[in-house]
Each structure stands twice: as structure tokens, then as C-alpha cells.
Chains A and B, each alone.
Chain A
């Protein structure tokens, strides 16, 4: 064991002396997390969709068109839309090309008159062709807004008809007519107020736990990163394990492993030293990334012992995977090609890039059986959902099973290679 520790420590020292590639690989999860936060983070972290930037071009300049703009910018849709003036079609086109707006709503000339006359009129919606999601959100929200607007018009149909009649006749209304219109408008207002009472119903968004336990996500930002960061870290760990294992492979091709085998050290001690090196290195990097995640992304490190146990199981799997591939491959290039493919496949299926809950059920079930899918699920449950360790035990067991089986396979393959 002394020789194994000596060899492992020696490899760790070498890695510390030339850590360039490891540092670059460590930056992968941090960079991807930062980019995802910049793209979706602030809104996702607060639990709301980001506002859709909408341009409005008012060709009618009437009371009714002003009401539409008011509805979008200050009414019920105010949290969904960020409204600004289009400045003409050319201006809108320029804003589209710069990505500053997702949709343009044109209120056509004659809009108010059409409403007064009870005719159908169209609001024209232009969607930014360079965007995909936000224009569809604008479409959906505007559809709801139009339904509400049509309801309001229906309620106020009587006073509107009276106003249109007076306008058509071109005369001043009598006192009795003013009184009748005022009364009808008041009654419409009462009905609207009754509709307005619906605002008393609110939606209280909750995020219940998967089990029966009470959960907490910590700060919204921490919850966001706590959900995505573990998958990215596990993805990076697989590539870092490749970098660590490649050092051992280079030792083999440069005759260093042979020299160790000719020293007074058993083959088992050399192999165990290699495994200790990769596993210890990965655990150290995992701890470092966890610390950075805590300091930079406000991720709460709950149950550190549980996280360490998950990390150890995953590190055993990663070390075993690399050793197995290195035993089978004939060259460094071969190892890199195979590892790249395997890591990408395992990471995709395991939900490192797309949350597993978005997968169809059969794929989700497969994902949860992969080592990184299970490890990610367990980590998120501990960090974000504040589950007790007992709750994540099945996932931890899955990770450890992978670790032990793959490592055992690697040992057998390595022995076969050396005997050959």
C-alpha cells in the first residue's frame, strides 16, 4: 500500500506541476453555467419568464389604440411585455435585425371607428424571423389580450352603439341621451368591476418535493445553479479523468510504466497507485468546483458527506472507464476518440445538458440508470431539494454499482493487456 500511495502522490505532484489542461477543462462547467445564467438565469431564478420585447406601431392614434398600448404596457400583460414605440416599419426591421425586439404589433388606421361600428378589425402581429421562442410567447399573450378586449367591448356594446348613432347623426345629444349613455356606461362599468373581481384569484406558485418531505431551494440564483451545475461538473469530471488517465497512458508508451514494473514494486501496487491517483485527483477537483460554485453561484453545499460519497462513486466509475478504454486502445489518439464519444453519449443520456424531466418517460428511466444521471439526480436532491441522504440512497447505490463494475472490468482488461 505504501508503494501505491507513493506512486499516487508522485502522479498528483506531476499534475500540479503542469496543470494547464486540467484548468482548461475545469473552466468548462463554469463557462457553460455562466452562459446559461446569462441566457436564462435571471428570469428562471426568479421563477418568471423573461418579458418579451414588443414594438407597437400606432397608425390610428385614437383613444382605443391608446387603450391597447396601455393594456400591453400597464395592464394585465405588463409583466409579459416590454413595450416600446416601433418608429415605423424600417425602425422595426432594424430592431428585429439587432435582436432588440421579438414582435411588432401594428394598430391599423380606422381601428377605433371599426370598434364603434361593431365591425371586425385586425391587430397585425409581425414576428421576428430570427427568433423562435419569444415571438410565439408574444403571439400567445396577445391572443389572450384580444379575448379579454373582445369581452370588454361586448360589455360596453350599448353605450358604444349610442355614441356611434350620435356621431352618425352629427348633432349634440340631449340631456336625456347623455343621462342614458352615462347610465349604460356606468352599468357596463359595474359589470367590468365584477369581472375585475376575478383578480382576487391569484396563482401561488409552489415547487413541491418529489417525496413527502418539505423542500427548499435556497436563493433563486443558487437554486438555478444548483439544478444545472452538478450535471455540468460531472460532464467536466469525465473529461478531466481522461486527461489524468492519458498521463498514465503516456507513461506506458514512453516506457515509464515498464521502468516501474522493473523496480521492486508489484504490478498490483502500480495499478492501485494509478487508480488512487485518478480518484483522488477527481475528488479534489470536484471539491474545488463545489467551492467555486458556492462562492460564485451561491449554491448551498448541503450534506457535504453525502456529496463526497456520490463524488467518490462517480470518480471510481470515471477512473475505471478511462483505464478500461486505455487498456483496449492502441494509441493515445484512439483513447481520445473513444472517450470523447462515450463521454458525450453518457452525458447526453444522463441529462448533463437537457434536464432529465424534459425527456420522454422511457429515456428518462434510462437516464436515471446512467452513472452521471443518477449522480446528478442525487446531487440536485441534496443541494436544491434539501432531501435527507436516505432519500437519495438508491441513486447513490446506482453510481457505486457503476463504479465498482467498471473498475473491476478495467482491472481485468489491464491485466490481460499486460499479460499479452
Chain B
């Protein structure tokens, strides 16, 4: 359904995509995780035809997005992060407009609108101007507008940002239902728990490339059951690699003047030796330990937390 091969894109001197590749099958929810500036938006921009890559190829439902952009977008539904809807119009009128843009009309359009409004549980508010809707209702309608034309591929760009847990849960359920129908879904999110609960496979992206990819179990295995330890205080960061050379089981992920980020086999066993070593290059004020998880893998791979 979605085939991305070796995409490269430079904006001036900044390389936004460095040969990114991934595939998503029909009915699969693929989580694309990465910190800000990792290349998620550029990747989605290429798939939507908004950004022309310097090299590589992308196909949606077998159609090359660079060669036949309009035809490729016919198979594509996009749910943007922001609520991109016409506030002065009703839910039905919004959907009617987006449906017509995809060539739907007549009874087919009406039936699809009824069906999708029922799915997002807005059928009883269909004729109201949506400026009266709550944030959760608008997000649900935002999704409805993206899937109205029953696309083979749906790109969802952080559709739950800023929502309460209950609304988030209802939207995740909606995404699952969409995938059950055979739609390939690319889902970007900052919430790792969402990715863990929702996605069949996850790709961790940073600096324009996929660092790790697989099912949750595969990724956990890749994390090597290591814990992530963050030592916070004041450090001579340039001395960190040298002093840690004597601790072969400790992997330095990142060193800064305020934090040393390390991967350990067992913090319980190794902290007692690690703290004096860290103390030799600075002052330790706080110790934080993260158990092996998708988050610890993410930090290990990118050196950053996802919210950064």
C-alpha cells in the first residue's frame, strides 16, 4: 500500500531526509516516531505531494506520487494535526465539500457522509455549525473528513494532541476500526503509549532516517533489556567518554553540562560504581532510571526524549 524507498531531501544545507525507506501493508497501522525535526513532516509532505524529494521514490497504492500526484492522492486520506475544517459550516456541509473534491456525488456521497458521521458519533449534530463543537468533536470530524472517500492509505499526523484521555481513547478506537477495513495507516505521535497500544509496527525516525523498525516485541528485544539512566547535575561533559571507558557495560548515549544519559544492563548493580565515576567529572544531584521500554529504546537510538 505504501512503499517508500531511499527518499532524500535537502533544504539548503539541512538534510531533512537521508534515504528513508519503509513499507506499510493494507490493514496495518504503522507508527512513525521521532522528535521534532526528525523528518516526519517532510516524509508526510512527500507522500502528500507537497514536497518534491531530491532522490528516492514513494508509491501509494501502487501509484508513484511524483509521477502521478493527483491520481496518487485519490487513494490517500490525510488527517492533519490542526483541525482544518470550515468553522462557519455544518459537519455535513464540510464533509460534502471534501467528498465532492474526491469526485463523490449524489446518493453515494450522502450515504458515505451518513456512515462516517455515525462512525465518529456526530450523526446527531450533523447540521450544526461546527464552531459550536468541542475540541474532541472537531478532532473526530477532522478524521471523518480524511477517511470519507474510503482511501486505501491514511496519514494521521498526531491526531490526539491536546485531547483528554477519554477522547484520545475514542479516537484510537476509531483508527483501529479504519485499519480493520483494510486501510493502511501511517500514524505519527509524540505519545509512546499510543504507539505501543495502537501500532502494529513502529518506525523510529531521526535525522531523516529510520533508526529502528519492527513490532513492539521486536523493538523491545532490540533495546537489549537495558535500562536508561539519566544523571543530572553539573558535569565536564568532554571528560565523560574518557572516564566511562573503564565501564564496558555502560554505554554513553549523550553527555552535556547538565546531564549524562547512559544505558546499563542493571542499574541496581552498577549505580554504586557509576556514581563515584560521574562524581569525578562533576556533581550528581539527581538520578532517574527508565526500565526497558519503547521509550528507553527511543532514547537509546536518538539520544533524545520524544517530546524534545
Give A residues with C-beta under 8 Å from B: 3, 6-7, 10, 13-14, 17-18, 254-256, 258-266
- Evaluate contact between A264 and B82: CB separation under 8 angstroms: no
Q: Is B89's beta carbon under 8 Å from chain A?
A: yes
Greatest chain A CB density within 10 A among B76, B85, B88, B145 is at B88
Partner among B74, B88, B103 whose Cβ is within 8 Å of the Cβ of A17: B88
List the one stretch of B94-102, B169-177, B259-267, B279-287 in contact with chain A: B94-102
For the complex, would chain A's binding face be called helix, strand, loop or mixed by DSSP majority? helix
- Evaluate contact between A255 and B88: CB separation under 8 angstroms: no
Give the shortest distance, in Å, between B42 (CB) and chain A (any CB): 14
A261 to B80, CA, bound (A): 12
Residues of A within 8 A of B98 (CB): 263
Taking A7-B101, A18-B88, A263-B73 as known contacts, 11 extra A-B pairs with beta carbons closer than 8 A to each other, sorted by chain A number, are A14-B86, A14-B89, A256-B85, A256-B86, A261-B49, A262-B48, A262-B76, A264-B71, A264-B74, A265-B70, A265-B101
Given the known inter-chain contacts A14-B88, A255-B84, please indicate yes or no for A262 contacting B50, CB distance below 8 A. yes
Q: Is B126's beta carbon under 8 Å from chain A?
A: no
- Evaluate contact between A262 and B88: CB separation under 8 angstroms: no
- Evaluate contact between B70 and A259: CB separation under 8 angstroms: no
- Evaluate contact between A264 and B102: CB separation under 8 angstroms: yes
Q: Which residue of B lies closest to A7 (CB)?
A: B101
Q: Which residue of B lies closest to A11 (CB)?
A: B86
A294 to B287, CA, bound (A): 82
A201 to B3, CA, bound (A): 96
Residues of B within 8 A of A6 (CB): 97, 100-101
A10 to B97, CA, bound (A): 7
Q: Is B78's beta carbon under 8 Å from chain A?
A: yes
Q: Which residue of B lies closest to A253 (CB)?
A: B82
Partner among B74, B84, B93 whose Cβ is within 8 Å of the Cβ of A259: B84
- Evaluate contact between B70 and A258: CB separation under 8 angstroms: no
A-B contact pairs, 20 of them (CB 8 A): A6-B100, A6-B101, A17-B89, A254-B82, A255-B80, A255-B82, A258-B80, A259-B78, A259-B80, A259-B84, A259-B145, A260-B101, A262-B48, A262-B73, A262-B76, A262-B78, A262-B80, A264-B71, A264-B102, A264-B103
A18 to B82, CA, bound (A): 23
Residues of B within 8 A of A13 (CB): 89, 93
Partner among B50, B71, B85, B101 whose Cβ is within 8 Å of the Cβ of A3: B101
Residues of A within 8 A of B49 (CB): 261-262
- Evaluate contact between A264 and B101: CB separation under 8 angstroms: yes
Give the shortest distance, in Å, between B294 (CB) and chain A (any CB): 29
Give the shortest distance, in Å, between A309 (CB) and chain B (any CB): 32
Residues of A within 8 A of B86 (CB): 14, 256
A398 to B74, CA, bound (A): 43
Given the known inter-chain contacts A10-B97, A263-B73, please indicate yes or no for A256 contacting B102, CB distance below 8 A. no
A261 to B78, CA, bound (A): 11
Within 8 A of A (CB), among B159-192: none
Give the shortest distance, in Å, between A393 (CB) and chain B (any CB): 41
- Evaluate contact between A266 and B70: CB separation under 8 angstroms: yes
Binary contact readout B104-147 vs A (1 if CB under 8 angstroms, 0 otherwise): 00000000000000000000000000000000000000000100
Give the shortest distance, in Å, between A417 (CB) and chain B (any CB): 13
Residues of A within 8 A of B74 (CB): 264
- Evaluate contact between B70 and A264: CB separation under 8 angstroms: yes
Greatest chain A CB density within 10 A among B74, B76, B85, B101 is at B101
Q: Which residue of A lies closest to B87 (CB)?
A: A254
Given the known inter-chain contacts A264-B71, A264-B101, please indicate yes or no for A258 contacting B88, CB distance below 8 A. no
